[in-house]
Amino acid sequence: MSVENAPVVDVDEAAIPVEKKMYYRFESNDKKEFRVSELAIQQSETLNRLVEAMGYTSEDVENKPAIAIENIDGKTLKLVFQWCEHHKGEAIPVDDGSVPKIVEIPEFDAKLMDIDNGLLFKLIWAADYLNIVQLLNVSCKKVANMAQGKTPAQLRRVYLLPSDEEDEAAKRAAQEAQDPRAREVEEEFEERKRQGGNSFF
Amino acid sequence: MVKVLNIPLLALKNLISILGPKEKIDFSFCSKKCRRAVKICTRKDSVQVTVNYKSAKSYVSVLPSDSKKDVKLDTEKISEMLGLLNEGDLWIPSLVLPCADYICDVLNSQVYGIVFSNSSMAKLVNLQKWLESRQETLEYCEITESVPTNQLFYILDNFEAEFLSVDNTYFLDYEKAIKSKVLYMKNYSRVNLSHIEKSNLTKVELRSTLLARNEINEILRAWVRGSIPHLSLLVITGITNHNIMSLVDGIELTELGVNVRNRYKGIFNEPKVIAGGWTVRRSDGEMATIKIVIVRFSNKYSNNFCINS
């Protein structure tokens, strides 16, 4: 996709100062391209470090290929960059565990996260991967709010939590997948038990 | 629906830290993995767990450190989830203890306090053994009005706490209260200078006091002399003497302007401000602020007194 056709994230033109401002180009894993302001990138510790390490000039930004973000699709990345643009320049919260975490979801974030749970799940992954502290806070808060007033049985359904039995079965299946001989031994053991053998050996 | 256990660890930690105590407990009942996740992701002592012990319907309440409102947990439901109680079974008060154990374990906390109401001697003995087996100290002990004398003595002898709050008319043996650091008497007490001198009390609040004017004056003089250096806050309310200034007879005071505001922490560590009042100096140079407030209740005047160093 060419830069001209890329889904550019909304930028408040009036807010752009007279001096030349750098816009970086990023590409999602489904080849969608985004232009993101330098200031917005600062919300993501991962991307901020990446662009610092690259040391691009304004010419490089235009001429070199867009920076690929392999793990995130275009739909999710669009939400991430919209969030970063809206919150650019804001202080990044530091969580050292010394004070209790109080998270409130601003109106803009609430609208942005008015999405299906699958996409919300991807947004959390992206916020974690790109290390965007406040986006991770608000997206987790949104998921935490789903727990309010729910019984454990309801929570299992909302959060797709496997029961202990399902966990055990998954663990066994994983072990068997790793070692096919273990399954054979178990089957042999069951067969001998059926035949009335007291000892396996 | 969101596959919560599949999100990255940092995000899961973030999510669990945002859940309220009730949601954390419910989440912990979903599976062993969930219980482990809550335990790992909950900061140590981030909640205050209080056992409200009664003859019937005992319960556990939890106060998160970021909140002023405690959350009453449904102990009957937790007992059911723990398999201690089947649907239709009668609730047994001692079931609150395994529930408290579970809550403390999952939320990484100790039992912060116990609120005592009328129960029975046998239950109190059971409670004391349980507490002794799980921890050495108790931060908070509250004795409510319904506790009869025999139970009251047992509680005072066996449940030592840093903070003692009493709302009980049978409570007259103040010697037993002085083992605490903070004392809050809700009603008509006669805690006097001799009790305070023998104690290590740092904060005392006596509401609707029965102390006479000269007894309060004695406490103040003793503080100035330096014989009760540990006392940093004394609040007395409901003084019925109209000659309120006689409380400070013989004490050298410096008046403060009404614009002078001194911030301090109240008996429950809540932020408070004294506007104006007087400054008083102790013999070793320590300063304190005294404030006497006249409060009007219907047609009666009551005088409140506060000294804070």
In which residue ranges of chain A is CATH 3.30.710.10 found?
13-152
Residue A191 has a pLDDT of 77
Domain covering A13-152: architecture: 2-Layer Sandwich (3.30)
Q: Give chain B's mean pLDDT.
A: 85
Contact A164 B31 (CB under 8 A): yes
**Interior/surface letters B240-250, b for 16+ CB within 10 angstroms, e for the rest:** eeeebeebbee
DSSP state of A93: P
Over 70: is that where the pLDDT of B62 sits?
Answer: yes
Collect all residues of chain B within an 8 Å Cβ-Cβ radius of residue A160: 1-4
Contact B4 A151 (CB under 8 A): no
Pick the residue from chain A with its C-alpha nearest to B2: A159
Residue B7 has a pLDDT of 86
Per residue in A119-149, pLDDT (tens digit) is: 999 999 999 999 999 999 999 999 999 888 8
Residue (of B177, B271, B260, B176) closest to B233 by Cα position: B271
Question: Measured on CA atoms in the order A135, A159, B97, B93, is the torsion positive or negative?
Answer: positive
Per residue in B272-306, pLDDT (tens digit) is: 888 888 888 888 888 888 887 766 554 444 556 66
Residue B235's region, left for phi above 0, alpha for psi from -120 to 50, else beta, is beta
By CB atoms closer than 10 A (0-12, 13-18, 19+), residue B90 is exposed
Return phi, psi of residue B288, to 5°: -145, 160
Please state, as a whole number, how many other Cβ atoms lie within 10 Å of the Cβ of residue B13.
17
| Contact between residue B111 and residue B135 where contact means Cβ atoms under 8 Å apart | yes
Q: Identify the helix (H) or strand (E) that includes residue A155.
A: helix A152-158
Residue B301 has a pLDDT of 47
Cβ partners under 8 Å of residue B239, min gap 6: B209, B211, B213, B216, B247, B302, B303, B304, B305
Over 60: is that where the pLDDT of A199 sits?
Answer: no
Contact A143 B33 (CB under 8 A): no
**Hey, is A171 helix, strand or coil?**
helix
ipTM: 0.71
Instruction: Work out the average pLDDT over A58-66.
Output: 86
Residue (of B262, B198, B194) closest to B233 by Cα position: B262
Residue (of B89, B88, B74, B85) closest to B26 by Cα position: B74
Residue B305 has a pLDDT of 61
Residue A142 has a pLDDT of 93
What amino acid is encoded at B87 in this protein? E
Cα–Cα dist B222/B192, whole Å: 11
CA angle B104, B107, B111 (to 5 degrees): 30
pTM value is: 0.79
Residue A1 has a pLDDT of 39
Residue B297 has a pLDDT of 52
CA angle A141, A137, B18 (to 5 degrees): 50
Pick the residue from chain A with its C-alpha nearest to B45: A100
Contact B2 A143 (CB under 8 A): yes
Per residue in B229-260, pLDDT (tens digit) is: 888 888 888 877 667 678 888 888 888 888 88
* Band of residue A6 on the pLDDT scale cut at 50, 70, 90: very low
Residue B57 has a pLDDT of 81
Residue A75 has a pLDDT of 95
Over 80: is that where the pLDDT of A165 sits?
Answer: yes
Radius of gyration of chain B from Cα atoms? 23
**Interior/surface letters B128-157, b for 16+ CB within 10 angstroms, e for the rest:** bebbeeeeeebbbbbbbeebeeebbebbbe
* Band of residue A34 on the pLDDT scale cut at 50, 70, 90: very high
Pick the residue from chain B with its C-alpha nearest to A122: B7
Q: From the CA of B77, how many Å to the nearest CA of chain A?
A: 10
Contact B18 A157 (CB under 8 A): no
Residue B66's region, left for phi above 0, alpha for psi from -120 to 50, else beta, is alpha
Instruction: Work out the average pLDDT over B171-180.
Output: 77
pLDDT above 70 coverage of chain A, percent = 80
Instruction: Work out the average pLDDT over A174-201.
Output: 67
